[in-house]
Amino acid sequence: MGNSSSRGVWRASLPVLVGVLGIGLAAFSLLLPGKPPQSAPTAPVRTVTATTPVEVSKAPAPTPSPEPLPPRVDCTQVPCVALTFDDGPSAYSEALLDKLDELGVKVTFFNTGQNTANRPESVKRQVESGHAVGGHSWNHVQLTTISPADACADANRTADAIKQASGVETYLVRPPYGSWNDAMLAACSDKTFILWDVDTEDWRTHDAAQIRDHAVGDSRAGSIVLMHDTVAESIEALPSIVAGLKERGFELVTVPELWNEPIAPGQSFYNGPRAG
């Protein structure tokens, strides 16, 4: 009898217990960590290329306006002398260039076209060392023995060889033997003939002391001194020539430097300005 009443009470209270358990489980679930929220998928990045070019504004590039290099010396105001060497390049050219480097002196070389073609590396070194270059005919022909047109063609051929060897265009011409005339100068109006007023006669004497005496003793302000690349004694005399001219107060320069401005073509010169 008692057991029957106990079972009845249990059955009656079971729904209540189930409800209480459900409420407890629900409350307990609230205490557990939840799943992290799902972020929205990132949209893919797309690169759009413009169908028409887009102009970007840029600042204008500065216009280069380099100042011209000032001349080493103003030979219109200071007494200068230009040493020149004809007939090269030769077997002596490298020794001559070595000596000039040692002395710190710049000169002017008047090269024949034929020798330039045979020794282009020497002509290139002349230019790279800061010396001036000009033509001395193709093979030392006396230009007055040929027509003015042929003389100009010869001068142009020689200038082309010098340019090919050194990259430098020259319009300076020293006519062999100093032989020229007005008809030739008129025909070669893009050239300037450079003669001399001091002949060291190295080609004749081959005497270092006499070469020195002519170069130093005969020079005046603006003088152009004639020597030869092919004369070993001129190289031997060079240190005493440089020392003697400097003792006399001369600045040693290239032929173009005798003038304080570019030499206009179509002219002939035996010397530069007689400054001082």
Q: Which of 74, 86, 202, 213 is catalytic?
A: 86
Tokens 């169908």, residue? 51
- What six digits make up the tokens of 109? 């070389």
Q: Which of 87, 154, 228, 229 is catalytic?
A: 228
Q: What angle do CA 23, 35, 21 make, to 5 degrees?
A: 10
Q: Is 86 known to be catalytic?
A: yes
Q: What's at 257, amino acid-wise?
A: E
Q: What angle do CA 246, 252, 257 make, to 5 degrees?
A: 150
User: Which run of H or of E encompasses 60?
Assistant: none
Tokens 């190295």, residue? 202
Q: Which of 78, 132, 76 is nearest to 100 (CA)?
A: 132
Q: Is 228 known to be catalytic?
A: yes
Active site residues: 86, 228
